[in-house]
Amino acid sequence: MALNAPSHHYTTVNGVKLHYVRQGAGQPLLLIHGWPGFWFEWHKNIGALAQHYDVIVPDMRGYAYSDKPELPPAQGYTDAVFAEDIKAFIDFYHLDSVRIVSHDFGAIWVQKFARLYPERLHKLMLFDPPYPGIGVRWFALPHALNTWYQLFHQLPLAEELVGSSPKATEIYLRHFLSAWSHDKNLWTDDEIAAYVEAYSQPGALRGGFNCYRAALSGGAFSAGGTPKVTTPTRILWGTGDSIIPFAWSDNLAGTFENFELKKIENGGHFMMREAPERINAEIIDFMKD
């Protein structure tokens, strides 16, 4: 099957210009990144999935090559704001219903979207998702030693320190990409360079940090865990994710009404990059009808 090459586009929704990559044809499949991420975190998946779907991969507001609104975090970077961006994005393309795969902050935004607009979401796949049932475990010892960055991101000088030089940005991003992966030597220098370039765009560090600022002020799971997400959902949870451990999957039934959980042995936080062939197969299998 001949495929068009992935192409880069821009569109403006809710007053924000979003960059996105698109490839394939058929039913729309959105891939939503988290932090530290942007469209490129799916570069091992887009081509394979495009053989089955119209794959659409945006940089969300505040990230990489999209606009970074200079708004207070509680006004411009909450889960509700990102959910409205997703809705406006699919409205622009007159898409009645979409399939979405996401993780990390993307999973938070999509859970909000699923609660607000369940009729617009056909199926949902999440990787190691943050969800209300994790509760205070984020900052309970000893795990708090892993979540120090969430508090660091609250500081106004965080983006100045991390963005003080390309080397500083590289060291910071490389730390998380490595620490949260099962294989600590997974990422190539070329891949790291792509991340550094994306997060060296003016305002990109601040945009990502603003998501943490909004979250810790109540802008993530702002509607709590109710109503439940009713969309058919497959959750893949890696046993090698050090930041969102598999044990935290114990309360999923309180958030998702119609879900299945699959354990991914030795899968880390970036399983789409760590085991792309398996993850692509999981996505294709689950999203096929």
- The one catalytic residue among 79, 104, 128, 241: 104
Active site annotation includes 199: no
Catalytic residue among 20, 63, 131, 212: 212
DSSP, collapsed to helix, strand or coil, labels residue 8 as strand
CB 237 within 8 A of CB 128: yes
Structure tokens at 90: 């699919």
Nearest in space to 108 (alpha carbons), one of 143, 132, 138, 139: 132
What is the b/e burial string over 142-178, where b = at least 16 CB atoms within 10 angstroms of the residue's CB?
A: ebeebeebbeebeeeebbeebbeeeeebbebbbebbb
91 assigned to active site: no
Q: How far is 144 from 138, CA to CA, in rounded Å?
A: 6
The answer to whether 139 touches 147, Cβ cutoff 8 Å, is yes
Respond yes or no: is residue 53 known to be catalytic. no
Residues designated as active site: 104, 212, 269
